[in-house]
Amino acid sequence: MSSSTNTSDKSKSSLAHRLYVGELSFDFVGRRKTWYVMSGIIIAIALIALLVRGLSLGIEFSGGADFQAPTRVTAQTVDNMRAAVAASGVPDLDDATVTTIGDNTVRVQTRSLDAETEVPLMREVIAKELGVGTDEVAYSLIGASWGKQITQQGLIALVVFLVLVMVMIWIYFRDLKMSIAAIVAVLHDLLLTIGIYALVGFTFTPATLIGMLTILGYSLYDTVVVFDKVRENTANLRSGRVRYAALANKAVNQVLIRSINTTIIGVLPVAALLVAGWFILGTGPLKDLGLVLFVGMVAGAYSSVLIATPLLVDMKMREPDIIAHEESLTRRAQRKGPRKSADEVDDVELDEDVSEPTNEELAASPSGLRITTDEAKVWRPDAGERIQPKHRTRSERKK
């Protein structure tokens, strides 16, 4: 992170403020190669995990029966229950798994059973073993083709949602590139989340699938907010003398606090879901949703800052308009001679024709933000403070 701060009278001001006015600035866009590589590595690991280990699918996808009954869990609970299930007289129960949830529930998962004959028998066996009433044994039974249907519907929903949202963002920003960048970031989150599921071995249930769709919403939402600011900053690009990449980076820095806040505020209730689902219930939709949302939201915040915006910049750099603008700035810098770097032209020499107060602020800030662009590095005087007193702008002199 290249950041430059100054030690003037602004030391009191908050982190948020310093980010906003560009006193403190992280060069997100300039280091985009790093993020791409990082994400690439993570996604590669995720894909390998997915191919090698696969997802551990819940019984909803494969079909099967799941019984849950209340009991005081002891060291013998699982063995006793397994013996009872084996002696139940229901055929082919070798693959039945018995687990405990927390310290008050025992769970038996088997192949798909016949609803009329085998299920009542199993419930009786379990109830007898635990000494509870048959109706205390909760169960769910899922037919084999049901999971296929759920998956299919889920995937259809996913595709429909992505297409609609792409169109929506395109209409909102009137910029196809923005919607492509947003969707790429979303796909990135999706892969990452599935990969983490495969890596850690969390059970993938229909609730997880739903969570995935919700994440997509969240991730996009985050990206939309960043892009909104990018659009605002670059509205008067041609009349200003700042590179697109610099403005986009400034936008990211300006909404960074909001992104962090949003993620924290969004994750807090989800953490509550996880706590309740995991520690109180031990299983079920609360835990599944909580888990996938937790993973996905963090990924979403990361991608909206480090993936979506840099991608947008990369795509924008190919637009003739932007190219022309960049070239004119480069020429300018060369005309000024080697005493000033292109960067400093970018951020310091702003004048009246810029109506955007952001740029004035930017100009007013004692040390401009340093942007590392991809072009050949120009001479930098030094990395630290200026030695000579700086020519101050009008707005600063007024104060």
Partner 1 sequence: MATHTSKYGRPLRTIIILFIVLAALFGVMAFNRAWSPKLGLDLRGGTTITLTASNTVGGGAPTGESLEQARTIIQQRVDSLGVGETEVTTSGDRQVVVTVPNVQQDELVRMVGQTAVLTFRALYVAMPVQPAVPSATDPTAAPGGEATPAGEATPGTDAPAPEATPAAETTPAAQGANRPAPMLPTAPPPVRTPRPTAPGQGLAPDQAMTWAPTENDYIDFQEYQCGDPTGEISDQPLVACNREGTEKYLLGPAIITGDRLTTASAGVPQNQLNWVVNLEFDPEGGRQFESATGALAAKQDPENRFAIVLDGHVISSPSVSQAIPGGRAEISGSFNERTATELANILKYGALPLAFEVSEVSNVSATLGGEQLRAGIIAGLIGLALVVGYAILYYRGLFVVVVLSLAVAGAFTYAMTVLLGESVGFALNLPGIAGAIVAIGLTADSFIIFFERIRDEVREGRSLRSAVETGWEKSRNTIVISDAVSMLSAVVLFILAMGGVKGFAFILGLTTLLDLAVVFFFTKPLMSLLVRTKFFGEGRKGSGLEAEKLGVRSLSGRITRRRRPATAAAAAAKEA
Nearer to partner 1, 48 or 115 (CB): 115
Which among 233-241, 346-354, 355-363, 386-394 is the span making contact with partner 1, rule CB under 8 A? 355-363
CB of 226: closest distance to partner 1 in angstroms? 10
362 binds partner 1 (CB under 8 A): no
Nearer to partner 1, 49 or 178 (CB): 178
235 binds partner 1 (CB under 8 A): no
Select the residue interacting with partner 1 from 172, 330, 349, 372 (CB under 8 A).
172
**How wide is the angle at C-alpha 260 spanned by C-alphas 269 and 224, nearest 5°?**
95
Select the residue interacting with partner 1 from 6, 10, 180, 199 (CB under 8 A).
10
Nearer to partner 1, 262 or 309 (CB): 262
Determine the residue type at 369.
L
- In the range 140-169, which residues lie near partner 1 by CB under 8 A? 140-143, 145-146, 149-150, 153-154, 156-157, 160-161, 164-165, 168
* Pick from 88, 84, 82, 81: nearest CA to 113: 88
What are the strands, taking DSSP E only, across the chain?
A: 56-57, 64-70, 97-101, 105-110, 138-142, 203-204
Nearer to partner 1, 339 or 399 (CB): 399
Select the residue interacting with partner 1 from 324, 357, 377, 386 (CB under 8 A).
357
Select the residue interacting with partner 1 from 26, 228, 330, 336 (CB under 8 A).
228
Q: How is residue 173 written in tokens?
A: 């920003």
Q: How is residue 284 written in tokens?
A: 């079920």
Contact pattern from residue 260 through residue 279 relative to partner 1, giving x for each residue in contact according to CB under 8 A and a dash for the rest: -xx-xxxxxxxxxx-xxx--
Which among 18-26, 75-83, 196-204, 243-251 is the span making contact with partner 1, rule CB under 8 A? 18-26
**How wide is the angle at C-alpha 374 spanned by C-alphas 368 and 376, nearest 5°?**
90
* Pick from 147, 173, 179: nearest CA to 61: 147
| Contact predicate 329/313, CB 8 Å | no
SS (HEC) of 260-272: HHHHHHHHHHHHH
176 binds partner 1 (CB under 8 A): no
Q: How far is CA 43 from CA 123, 173, 188, 356, in A?
A: 44, 29, 8, 39
Q: How is residue 266 written in tokens?
A: 């969004």
- In the range 239-258, which residues lie near partner 1 by CB under 8 A? 254-255, 257-258
CB of 122: closest distance to partner 1 in angstroms? 11
- In the range 201-220, which residues lie near partner 1 by CB under 8 A? 206-207, 210, 213-214, 216-218, 220
- In the range 24-53, which residues lie near partner 1 by CB under 8 A? none
Residue 16 DSSP SS3: helix
Tell me the site size for partner 1, rule CB under 8 A.
84
Select the residue interacting with partner 1 from 4, 25, 39, 68 (CB under 8 A).
68
Nearer to partner 1, 157 or 378 (CB): 157
Residue 143 DSSP SS3: coil
Question: Helical H runs in 2-63?
Answer: 15-21, 32-52, 59-62
CB of 342: closest distance to partner 1 in angstroms? 27
Nearer to partner 1, 150 or 317 (CB): 150
285 binds partner 1 (CB under 8 A): yes
Q: Go through 275-305 and write b for each residue having 16 or more CB atoms within 10 A of its CB, e for each that does not.
A: eebbeeebbbbbbbbbbbbbbbbbbbbbbbb
Contact pattern from residue 85 through residue 124 relative to partner 1, giving x for each residue in contact according to CB under 8 A and a dash for the rest: ------------------------------xx--xx----
Name residue, tokens 């932007």: 322
Contacts 24+ apart (CB under 8 A), 25-28: 25/249, 25/250, 25/253, 25/369, 25/370, 26/1, 26/2, 26/252, 26/253, 26/256, 27/1, 27/2, 27/3, 27/249, 27/370, 27/371, 27/372, 28/249, 28/252, 28/253, 28/305, 28/306, 28/309, 28/310
Q: How is residue 282 written in tokens?
A: 């031990």
Nearer to partner 1, 193 or 373 (CB): 193
Contact pattern from residue 310 through residue 349 relative to partner 1, giving x for each residue in contact according to CB under 8 A and a dash for the rest: ----------------------------------------
Nearer to partner 1, 41 or 160 (CB): 160
Select the residue interacting with partner 1 from 17, 128, 238, 390 (CB under 8 A).
17
Helix orientation angle between 206-233 and 176-200, rounded to the nearest 10 degrees: 140
